[in-house]
Amino acid sequence: MDFFEHQDRARRNTGMLVFYFGLAVVIVVLSVYAAFLGIAVYASKGTKHPLEFFAWHPQFFFGVTIVVTGLIGLGSLYKIWSLGSDGENVALSLGGVKIPANSHNLDERILLNVVEEMALASGTPVPPVYLMENETGINAFAAGTTPQNAVIGITRGAIDTLKREELQGVIAHEFSHILNGDMRLNLRLMGLLNGILVIALIGYGIMRILGEVGFRSSRNSDSDGDGDKESLGIVAILVLIGCSLVAIGYIGVFFANLIKAAVSRQREFLADASAVQFTRNPNGIGDALKRIGGWAQHSKLKAAHAAEASHMFFGEGVVSYLFATHPALPDRIRRIDPKFDGTFQETGYITHSESELIDPRSLSLARSSFAGSSTAASSTATSSTAVSSLSSVQETASVHQAAVAGADQHEQQPQQAVSHIGEPRPEHISHAHHLVEELDPILADDVRDPLGAVAIIYAMLLGPSEESVRTQQLEFLSGASDALVLAELKRVSVRVDALAIEQRLPTACLALPALSQLSPSQANTFRNNVRKLIEADRRWTMFEFAIQRFITKRLVRRITDNRLSDSSAPTSLVESVRIVLSSLAHLGSVPSMVESAFAVGIREIPSIGRGMKILPRNECTLKSLDRALDVLEQSRNSQKRRMLSAFSACIAADGKVDVSELELLRVISDALGCPMPPVIESSHV
Question: Under a CB-based contact definition with an 8 Å cutoff, are residues 155 and 250 in contact?
Answer: no
Taken in order 103, 109, 111, 115, is the CA torsion positive or negative? positive
Rounded CA separation 490/467 (Å): 17
Distances (CA, A) of 442 to 68, 384, 385: 60, 30, 30
Alpha-carbon dihedral of residues 224, 228, 233, 237, nearest 10 degrees?
-130
Of 174, 427, 502, 604, which is the active-site residue?
174
Question: Under a CB-based contact definition with an 8 Å cutoff, are residues 559 and 614 in contact?
Answer: no
Rounded CA separation 445/393 (Å): 25
535 is catalytic: no
181 CB-contact burial (10 Å; exposed 0-12 / middle 13-18 / buried 19+): buried
Q: What is the CA angle 314-315-316, rounded to 5?
A: 135
Rounded CA separation 349/162 (Å): 8
Output the DSSP codes for 75-117. Answer: HHHHHHHHH-SBSHHHHHHTT-EEPPTT---HHHHHHHHHHHH
The residue count of the chain comes to 685
Query: If we measure between CA atoms, which residue out of 177, 133, 135 comes closest to residue 152?
Result: 177
Question: Under a CB-based contact definition with an 8 Å cutoff, are residues 584 and 650 in contact?
Answer: yes
Query: If we measure between CA atoms, which residue out of 671, 632, 678, 680 comes closest to residue 147?
Result: 671
Rounded CA separation 672/219 (Å): 66
Alpha-carbon dihedral of residues 540, 616, 631, 178, nearest 10 degrees?
-50
Residue type, 479: G
Instruction: Give the phi and the psi of residue 130 in degrees, each rounded to 5.
Output: -115, 135
- Number of H-type helices and E-type strands within the chain: 29, 4
Question: Under a CB-based contact definition with an 8 Å cutoff, are residues 170 and 288 in contact?
Answer: yes
Q: How many other CB atoms sit within 10 Å of the CB of residue 12? A: 10
Annotated catalytic residues are 174
